[in-house]
Amino acid sequence: MTSTEHQSPSNLRGPDAPEWARLEDLSRTRLLDTPSEERFDRITRLAQNLFGVSAASVSLIAENRQYLKSFVGTLSRDSDRRDAFCAETIKSAETMIVENARTDERFRDSPLVTGNPHIMFYAGRPLTGPGGTHVGTFCIVDQSPRSFDAEQQKILEDLTQIIQREMNLSWDIDYGARTQRAMLPLTPPAPAGYSLATCFYPAFGLSGDFYDLGTTGSGHFRITVGDAMGKGVGPGLVAGAAHSAFVNTGWDADPASILRYVSDRLDETLTRAGSYATVFHAEIDPATGSGLYSDAGQGLTHILRADNTMERLPPTGPPLGLVPGGTWDQRPFTLSPGEAILIPTDGLLDLHGGDLSRLAAAMPDCRTADDPDTTLKKLCDRRGKVVVLDDITAVLFRRAPEEP
């Protein structure tokens, strides 16, 4: 079901929808007051050149103002709604054409006609929000009167449909991302004497990362962190399939057996999808801190030792789906009092320039900070850092120091 199928009653859709429903729909687009985006800007530039007009825009009509999400030419990003041609366009399902604004009684006294930008010609079509109301327009304007024939109207309609598809895709991805977040496993309580922190930062709405945490039937704490190849919708679907396969194991086998079980069920699917997934899976006995892990090509897990040294746990086999019929070893590790294990996906490595030594240098606070969750989220936060176009996920599991 697409975003535009998250339907409201028919009388709350289209040009006749009440204003409250339209404003709610505009809010759901999450486009108002956001910066220009190239996917829209390339269409407004194309329209300006195709029609030989002075300006083109993607307009959003808020309660009292018009906001231009994208524009080219001598237009203002914000203007008063009561003066906007587009505020009239959203009242109709058809293209609104004003060949000469000075002879049109609706607009001849508008300050946009009598003053800057001195609009004489206008043609615009409505754009709908996820609930089906008219939230804005795609339009072209010029400072000279002109006619606008049927062929030109068809071109404007086709360009509007391209913009509408881009808007629909954004809403679908946003809805999918919110659904994905709602389906993330609830973070369980950490075992006595331990603390637990997580971060999950998708790069483009839907994430190709996944994680799961909990307790096995034998009382061991389990941690699974995975990363499907790529970014966006496809990897998000692969990540969902991989996560489901892990859940279906029941979690009570040893780490290597769990990876083999998941591989047997995913190999054909991953081959058809042309994808693979890296995964780290471990279980730890809280009473002793001893654990076992298997790593399918992830290779980024670090144990933060109490003496301020770090140990990186190497992979024990290939990524899932990369080598059909692959097998994985499992290896022991130990968390002594005051030590921690940090399991990130490679987005965190990218955030540190792809340099393992830089990543390692950023980790020590995760072992000692009073608030491990805030510290981990700060480590993973891409804001104000280098541009990283990858999902970032990490799990931090800490054992408390011994009481003095």
Pair (175, 201) in one structural domain: no
Amino acid at 350: D
**What CATH number did the domain enclosing 31 receive?**
3.30.450.40
Dihedral of CA atoms 252, 257, 259, 264 in degrees, nearest 10, equals -110
Pair (92, 132) in one structural domain: yes
pLDDT per residue over 5-47, tens digit each?
A: 444 444 667 788 889 989 988 988 888 898 888 889 999 999 9
Number of domains, the chain = 2
Pair (130, 62) in one structural domain: yes
Pair (121, 207) in one structural domain: no
Pair (96, 138) in one structural domain: yes
Is 355 domain-assigned?
A: yes
Pair (218, 113) in one structural domain: no
Amino acid at 26: L
Pair (148, 200) in one structural domain: no
Domain end call among 179, 198, 227: 179
Is 404 domain-assigned?
A: no
- Helix (H) or strand (E) segment spanning residue 344: strand 340-344
Q: What is the pLDDT along the chain (404 residues), one digit of tens a residue?
A: 344 344 444 466 778 888 998 998 898 888 889 888 888 999 999 999 999 999 999 999 999 999 999 999 989 899 999 989 999 999 999 999 999 999 999 999 999 999 999 999 999 999 998 888 999 999 999 999 999 999 999 999 999 999 998 887 776 666 666 666 766 777 788 999 999 999 988 876 677 889 999 999 999 999 999 998 876 667 777 888 888 899 999 999 999 999 999 999 888 888 887 888 999 999 999 999 999 999 999 999 999 999 999 999 999 999 998 887 788 999 999 999 999 999 999 988 888 888 888 888 888 889 989 999 999 999 888 766 655 567 889 999 999 998 77
**What CATH number did the domain enclosing 351 receive?**
3.60.40.10
pLDDT per residue over 54-103, tens digit each?
A: 999 999 999 999 999 999 998 989 999 998 999 999 999 999 999 999 99
First to last CA, the chain: 59
Pair (125, 263) in one structural domain: no
Pair (41, 153) in one structural domain: yes
What is the rounded CA–CA span in Å between residue 292 and residue 160? Answer: 56
Is 273 domain-assigned?
A: yes
Pair (151, 219) in one structural domain: no
Question: Quick check: 125 and 156 in contact, CB under 8 A?
Answer: yes
What is the rounded CA–CA span in Å between residue 106 and residue 88? Answer: 9
pLDDT score at 172: 67
Domain limits at 66? 3-179
Domain end call among 128, 152, 179: 179
Pair (141, 196) in one structural domain: no
Tokens of 312: 């990186």
Question: Quick check: 296 and 314 in contact, CB under 8 A?
Answer: no
Pair (45, 128) in one structural domain: yes
Domain end call among 147, 179, 211: 179
